[in-house]
Amino acid sequence: MRRPETVECLYLDFDGFFASVEQQIHPHLRGRPVGVTPFKGDGNRTVIACSKEAKAFGVSNVMDIGEARRICPDLILVPQTPAMYRRAHNALLSEIESVVPIAAIKSIDELTCDLDPDQRGDPHDIAARIKATIRENIGDQITCSIGFAANRQLAKIACKMDKPNGVTVWHPADMPGPLFATAFGDIPGVGSRMEQRLAKAGIFTVEDLYRTSPKQMRSLWSNVSGERLWYALHGYDVRAPESKRGMFGHGRVLPPDSRTLPRAREVCRFLLIKAARRLRREYFYAAGLNLHLSLKHRRWARSISLPIVHDDQAVLEGLNTLWRQLESETGKGEIAYKVGVYLYDLSPANVRQLDFLLEDDCERLKWERINEAVDRLNAKYGKTVASLGFIPRKNLDNIGGKISYTRIPAAEDFW
């Protein structure tokens, strides 16, 4: 395994991305504490993102709105606009690519770059050029923090050391001293539970962790991820294997007037149609469907097998079966706060194997042809102009366009 002798990787994290995009779009928000909420109107309970001005008061992402307003009375709440965040993300990528090639997009607001040999001599110049092109061509409200190190993992940790709008360079010759000044929470893969496990093993600091052996790290993590982390912390060029697609799905926190089961069903139905569209766009079939809901007093989740499908008719029939089971177990007067639907047990289109005992080939092909026609029509107009069954419009803003840590929605997700 190779151990670089110079800085080779850059890790970039946009500061308060959702809130800073809102400030760039809306001048009246600039310089003021901003909190981004899940949906429009009243009934929001949580600030899902906040600006650097709000963070200066102690507001943090995923904080209760009441607590946020207590510590920052002047906090301005704005509903999220995921479609705009996606557009800003793509524009920012183009500007960064004009300075240095992007190696991997880690999330909507994080990315990593591998530096060419002629770029490794002056990391501060690379950082200054990135910041300048963003400021000049996008705007001065969207800032970023950048870390440089021998590998991606160390660069990511370094990136957290000087936020917001900072630059941190960890030269291999200076390591591991700067690493020892970090907290466990800055190390990828070390959450609160892992920190407790490490404490039981007598490991209380990052320096303690650094002094362990690769095999001990593997044992503590109960898998090879721990050993990979050991080599990363010691400056080796470690690349995790590419992950494979495991499912397609969507979840949604329901607005207050959509928390009845009939309204929740409408939302689930549209979420599932969105998931099936993604399934077809990426040429997969699914053999399983999971439905889960957060109800007033408990969580309900069930799964059902599907006959290796990707058409709307088949997945919606599966949803109908699960919903009948839900109503029989909970009653129609139940209150739902959050819903989610997931298509899993995936097969790439070129290796699909049908059940030879299930004689539905003609029927299945008919529905697949119908969906192909519907997809082409929607693509032509860039919106949902045709669908299988009625699509309600109330409280469906941004539905299917949720931005998670590992997924950046496509333009089609907002149709």
HEC string of 32-60 equals: CCEEEECCCCCCCCEECEECHHHHHHCCC
DSSP code string of 75-140: PEEEE--HHHHHHHHHHHHHHHHTTS---EEEETTEEEEEPPGGGSS-HHHHHHHHHHHHHHHT-S
Q: How confident is the model at residue 396 (pLDDT cuts 50, 70, 90)?
A: low
pTM: 0.84
Domains and CATH numbers, the chain: 8-173 (3.30.70.270), 176-239 (1.10.150), 247-414 (3.30.1490.100)
User: Position of tokens 């870390």?
Assistant: 147
Q: What is the mean pLDDT of residues 195-217?
A: 94
Would you call 368 a catalytic residue per the annotation? Answer: no
> How high is the pLDDT of residue 172?
96
pLDDT (tens digit, 9 = 90+) per residue, 153-180? 999 999 999 999 999 999 999 999 999 9
DSSP state of 19: H
Which of 8, 53, 95, 110 is flagged as catalytic? Answer: 110
Q: Residues 122, 100: contact at Cβ < 8 Å? A: no
Strand, coil or helix: 249: strand
Residue 51 predicted with pLDDT over 60: yes
Residue 109 CA to residue 268 CA, distance in Å, equals: 28
